Structure 1
Amino acid sequence: MSAQAGPSTASGSTSPTESGTTPAFDKWRKSLAEFTGLGLSPEERADRDARMEQGKLAKDWDRCEKMKQDLMVSSPMIVFMLKHLKLAGCEFPASSMQCHPCDETRAGGFSPDYGILLCQNRFMNKKHMEDTLAHEMIHAFDHCRFKVDWNNLRHHACTEIRAANLSGDCRFSREFQRGNYAFSKQHQVCVKRRAVLSVQAHPACKTPEQAEQAVNEVWESCFKDTMPFDEIY
């Protein structure tokens, strides 16, 4: 009479460990601790948080780069601006538009020395990036065309007016998302408001009144200047 085989342990998932639990249960418990941080020592939690942050940064960067590369070939607005930057003598390769993490106060930025910053952790979707990139590319175009003095509040006000006016940043749908529902001259109101806020953040600007004065002084000429567009986008 042949002996009967006992319960199979080939998978290694049902054999109890010294603690009385199974390897499968221990693996689940460890993954839960990794996810929640519960049961980890301060050192283990710090290591786990650092790894999770690095993983999120890499994921955000990959998403940002993918959207940027796609916009450079598929967005009429971005393709148009790339063309006119090149015609103005300031070609903008992909390497001049860098994805980096930012705080919650911004979605992008422009520096004459470093190019365009795209805040990889701040974009709601590709359309949000398109508007942001267009805004910063108008700053780049103005810097190339006019040699903007970024320490001059009037110069800064003018390019902020143009960027808000032409980038799509003040289209009705964006304003609706911000909770601004007025219909009478809503576009102009948005452009002026956003230009004032940007100038107000300038280190040389001491008061909100000074920012508003700078915007008002250049408003008429800068709002009418739609270059390189024939009209407001």
Structure 2
Amino acid sequence: MSQFYEDIKTCQKGMTTSLWMMMNNNNYGNMYMLSILTGKRVNKLLQHIKEQNKNGCKMVTRGLDLRVCDSVEDAGMMGYYSSSANQVVVCCNRHREPEELENTVVHELIHAYDFCRFRQLFYCKVRACSEVRAYSLSGSCSSPDELSGFTSKEQCLKARAIASTIMACKKSAVSDVHDIYNTCINDEHPFKSSPDHHVLKPHELPESDKVVTN
């Protein structure tokens, strides 16, 4: 455990570690971090993402980077996926425990996976669906601390998904999350296969559902 905190301190001093490159080039300079980020869930996602890359959807070609986040744009974020940069960024200065770090990586890789799977993240309902899936599949709203102030796990997950969707989708975020919740909470791809009725169909959404800014 102490190595985790040493690695976090190293990152907080301003060093950026490209974990994707570490995995591919066997550069294990940050051993404890690597053991967390090559766990079962992350590996499963990376395998599917690599397959999608082979099929022409370049979703994480620039890697998975661990860095200090201190700009106004990323205020409060634990990490983020940038489809324009083809990169997942994990904010090392905002993680206190190894489990937090792993959950953040899973959350952002779900977004990367959904970007290629749905290819329509500029639709508000698709974005809302990806947020519900990312929070659920990364293990959010599972601890007593996270559930504090909520009457149920569902209420907690909806609140988090709305908060993450509202920047892009403004007034429709609340209704979007509620509309797609039952479908998307049961969509566990790529960890488990889901029945067809538990998979959102972006091609059936109206043009009016598009996000104003991507």
- 1:87 is matched with 51
Name the CA distance, whole Å, in 2 between partners of 1:79 and 1:177: 28
Residue from 5, 8, 13 that aligns with 1:58: 13
Q: Give per-residue Cα distances to partners, 1:67-91, cap 9 Å, x unaligned.
A: 5422343x11111111122233357
**1:142 maps to 2:114:** yes
Name the CA distance, whole Å, in 1 between partners of 2:148 and 2:193: 24
Letter in 2 for 1:85: I
Name the CA distance, whole Å, in 2 between partners of 1:162 and 1:94: 22
TM-score, with length taken from structure 1: 0.61
Please tell me whether the aligned partners of residues 147 and 153 of structure 2 are also in contact (alpha carbons under 8 angstroms). Answer: no
Name the CA distance, whole Å, in 1 between partners of 2:127 and 2:93: 26
SS in 1 for 2:84: coil
Q: Which structure has the bigger radius of gyration?
A: 1
**1:126 maps to 2:98:** yes
Percent of matched pairs sharing the same residue: 26
Shift of 1:165: 1.3
Letter in 2 for 1:101: V
Name the CA distance, whole Å, in 2 between partners of 1:154 and 1:146: 11
Higher relative contact order (Cα pairs below 8 Å, separated by 6+ residues): 2
4+ aligned runs moved over 6 Å, structure 1: 91-94
Cα distance, 1:144–1:156 mapped onto 2, change above 3 Å: same
- 2:189 is matched with 227
- 1:76 is matched with 40
Please tell me whether the aligned partners of residues 82 and 92 of structure 1 are also in contact (alpha carbons under 8 angstroms). Answer: no
Shift of 1:60: 6.5
- 1:35 is matched with none
Cα distance, 1:71–1:93 mapped onto 2, change above 3 Å: farther
Cα distance, 1:222–1:216 mapped onto 2, change above 3 Å: same
- 2:165 is matched with 199
- 2:178 is matched with 216
Name the CA distance, whole Å, in 2 between partners of 1:179 and 1:227: 25
Please tell me whether the aligned partners of residues 60 and 121 of structure 1 are also in contact (alpha carbons under 8 angstroms). Answer: no
Structure 2: segments with no counterpart, 5+ residues: 1-9, 20-28, 195-214
Cα distance, 1:147–1:227 mapped onto 2, change above 3 Å: same
Cα distance, 1:56–1:146 mapped onto 2, change above 3 Å: closer
Shift of 1:113: 2.1
Number of residues of Structure 1 aligned to a counterpart in Structure 2: 167
Structure 1: segments with no counterpart, 5+ residues: 1-54
